[in-house]
Structure formats: C-alpha cells, structure tokens
Amino acid sequence: MNLTILTYPDKRLKQISKDVTKFDEEIHKLLDAMNEMMLLSNGIGLAAIQVNYPLNILILNIPDSEGEQHPDNLMEIINPVIINKEGLTTYQEGCLSVPGFYEDIERYETVTINYQDRHGNTKSLDADGLLSIAIQHEMDHLAGKLFIEKLSYARRKKFEKEYKRAIKEKKA
C-alpha cells in the first residue's frame, strides 16, 4: 500500500468521509500503512482522507511528557461520533496537510466519543487534554474541514499569503 499525504489546497481534502462497514483485511492494511506514514511524517494524528481514502477512520499517537511516541499508545478510531462535549480550550495546532503552519485554535476541552475498533467492536472514550483536541481536529477532516477554516478573516488572509510564498519557495 503506497500512501501519499494530500496537502492544501488539494480539493480531495474537502470530501465527506463515509462510514466503514467491512472490518476486513483491507481496512487493517490501510490502518497499518497510515500508522507507518504518520510516524515517518512526525505526525501525532492522521485521518484516512489525508491519504486519499474518504473513510471515517482516524489514528492518533499522542507523545508522552518527554515528547516520545510509543507504539503501544497508537489509537485506531473508526466511525467516531461525539456524544458529549464540555468547556473550551485553545492550542497551537498544525496539520500534515498544511505543512509549516501553526495557529491557535479553539476547541472543546473534553469530548466523549463512541467509535469502533479495527474489528468493529463498539467502544466509548472520554478524552481531555491533547487527546481531546486531536480527536476534534481529525474528526473535522472526516467532515472535509481543515483547521485553517476556523481562523478569523484577518488570520486566514495572513495564512494564504505566507502559505503561497512557502509553496513558491519550495518549487524554486
């Protein structure tokens, strides 16, 4: 399975992802390839649509207090639904599909989700801290949304200018 990460402004990132209905070998292979791609890219979270699979799948590997990622901390979240959300928090977010750009984004402080694991078993999770933020960021991808869409008009303009310049410089 040969995956590449789609980057803004690729329109394929705007697709609405669909629920997974078959928890088969194909899905397991996709999950494994996504994990490999996330770690190679120094990511902490990745949605399937970022590698051009419009399916309701996200993976996360939240670093420990030393900033280290452990294979044991991999989370595979399929068909997630937020069933409760509380409070507000702000965090400087980035995204593998918007490389080199980071901005403060407001999210719910805690979320409770229902989801399925790679075998189709139903699970529930109470998340706070970075895990909660990452789940919301990745779930936005499943709805075709990028974190830059949450910026104010002025900050979005600043982003578009900086990002276009960065793309030009990479090409030159």
| Among 3, 27, 44, 49, contact with ligand QAP (rule: CB under 6 A) | 44
| Among 3, 49, 75, 96, contact with ligand QAP (rule: CB under 6 A) | 96
For the segment 108-167, give every residue that binds ligand QAP (CB under 6 A).
Answer: 130, 133-134, 137
Stretch that binds ligand QAP, among 36-44, 68-76, 116-124, 163-171 (CB under 6 A): 36-44
Tokens of 32: 């494994």
Distance CA 172, CA 166 (A): 10
> Which residues, at least 6 apart from 40, have a Cβ–Cβ distance to it below 8 Å?
none
Q: Which of 128, 21, 40, 36 is nearest to 78 (CA)?
A: 21
| Among 9, 54, 99, 120, contact with ligand QAP (rule: CB under 6 A) | 99
Query: DSSP state, 142?
Result: H
Nearer to ligand QAP, 87 or 100 (CB): 100
Catalytic residues: 138
